[in-house]
Amino acid sequence: MAKSQQTYNKTEKEKKRLKKREEKQKKKVARKEASKESGPGIQFAYVDHDGNLTDTPPDPTKKVVIDAASIEIGIPKRDDSDVEEFDPVRNGKVSFFDTSKGFGFIIDSENNEKYFVHVSGLIDEIAENDKVSFELERGMKGMNAVRVKKI
C-alpha cells in the first residue's frame, strides 16, 4: 500500500493560502462598499489665481490676457557692446603642488578662486608659493589652469 502524498505541511500551506485569498476578497468588497458611500468626489479641479487647486471655478473678471506675440522664446542676441573685454592671462600664487603626483592648485590673485593645475598644463617647473601666470580652460570638474609659467 502506497503512502499518501499529502503531508501535514502541505495541507497547512493550502489552508493559509485559501485564508489569505478569502481575506483579500473581503477587503475588495469592503473597498467597493466604501466607494459607493463616499460618492463620486470632486469631478473637476480648478487652479485659482494664486496657483492653488480648488473645486470652484475661478472668477473670470480676474483673468489676465497675455499677448502671445510678445513672448520671446530663446535667448536674445547679444550686441558686441555688451561683451566686456577681459585679459585671458591671469596671475596667481601656487598654494599646493605635488610633483610626485603631478597636480596642484593655484589661487587667483584677483578673485581668490582656487584652480586645479595638472603637470600637462605647465610650461615652467613650479613649486609652492611661486607667483605664476596662467590661462583658464574648462575641464570635466570645473575650470583648470593651463599654460602655467613663472613670473
Q: Which domains does the chain have, with CATH numbers?
A: 89-150 (2.40.50.140)
Beta bridge partners of 118: 103
Q: Are 132 and 117 in contact (CB under 8 A)?
A: no
> What is the pLDDT, as a whole number, of residue 44?
80
* Residue 143, helix vs strand vs coil: strand
In this predicted model, what pLDDT tens digit does every residue of 111-136 receive, in sequence order?
A: 999 999 999 999 999 999 999 999 99
pLDDT band with cut points at 50, 70 and 90 for residue 60? confident
Cell of 135: 590661462
Q: Are 123 and 133 in contact (CB under 8 A)?
A: no
In this predicted model, what pLDDT tens digit does every residue of 62-97 receive, in sequence order?
A: 888 889 988 888 887 776 655 455 568 999 999 999
> What is the pLDDT, as a whole number, of residue 134?
95
**Which residues have CB under 8 Å from 10's CB, separation 6+?**
none
In this predicted model, what pLDDT tens digit does every residue of 42-58 receive, in sequence order?
A: 578 888 888 888 888 88
Residue 91 CA, chain-centre distance (Å), reads 34
The yes-or-no verdict on residue 1 having pLDDT over 70 is: no
Single pTM value for the model: 0.44
User: 39 vs 21, which has greater pLDDT?
Assistant: 21
Query: How far is it, in rounded angstroms, from Cα 59 to Cα 66?
Result: 17
